[in-house]
Amino acid sequence: METIYDEIEIEDFTFDPITQLFQYPCPCGDRFAIALDDLKDGEDIAVCPSCSLMVRVIFEPEDLEEFEEELK
C-alpha cells in the first residue's frame, strides 16, 4: 500500500512556467514535483526524484487557472 507522507496545499508549491512543474521541499533535501498537466488530468500525488516519499497536493480544479494564465 502506498503511504502518503503528507498533504500540501497547492499555494505552498512553487510553479515554474518553463518546466511547468510544481515543486515543494522534500525532507531529504530534494523537491517533490508534479506537472501542471498531471494536475489537470486529476492526478494529485507529487513524487520526489531522490526518494520514495510522496505528498498529496490539495487543490481545486479552478486553482489551476491562474497558473495556466502564467503560460499565456
Partner 1 sequence: MYQVLCCGSNGQYQLGIGNDTDQLELVAAKFEIDGTVTTQLAAEPVEVVCGGNHTLVLFSTGEIYSCGDNTFGQCGHQGGQTIEVFRKIDGKWAKAACGWEFTILVDLEGKVYSCGRGLKGELGLGKGVDGNQLREVIDFGPQAVLSVRSSLNHTVVQLADKRLFGWGNARKGQLGVQNAIGTKLESVIWQPRQLKFEGLDDLQVRFFDVGRDYTAFYSNDYKEYGKKATEKVHVNGDVVGLRTMWSSSHLLVKNEKHLSIKSFGNDSHGQLFPQSAHPVVQQFEIGSEHGLILTDQNSVMAWGWGEHGNCGERSGDEVYEDDLSAAAVTYSLNTIYNQAHPVTRLGSGCATSWITIRKL
Interface residues with partner 1 (CB under 8 A) are 1, 3-6, 11-12, 14, 25, 27-30, 50-53
CB of 27 vs partner 1, minimal distance in Å: 3
Question: In this structure, how many other beta carbons lie within 10 angstroms of the beta carbon of residue 72?
Answer: 5
Q: How far apart are CA 68 and CA 28, in angstroms?
A: 30
SS3 assignment, position 1 = coil
Residue among 14 and 19 whose Cβ is closer to partner 1: 14
CB of 21 vs partner 1, minimal distance in Å: 16
User: 56 has which bridge partners?
Assistant: 7, 45
CB of 56 vs partner 1, minimal distance in Å: 11
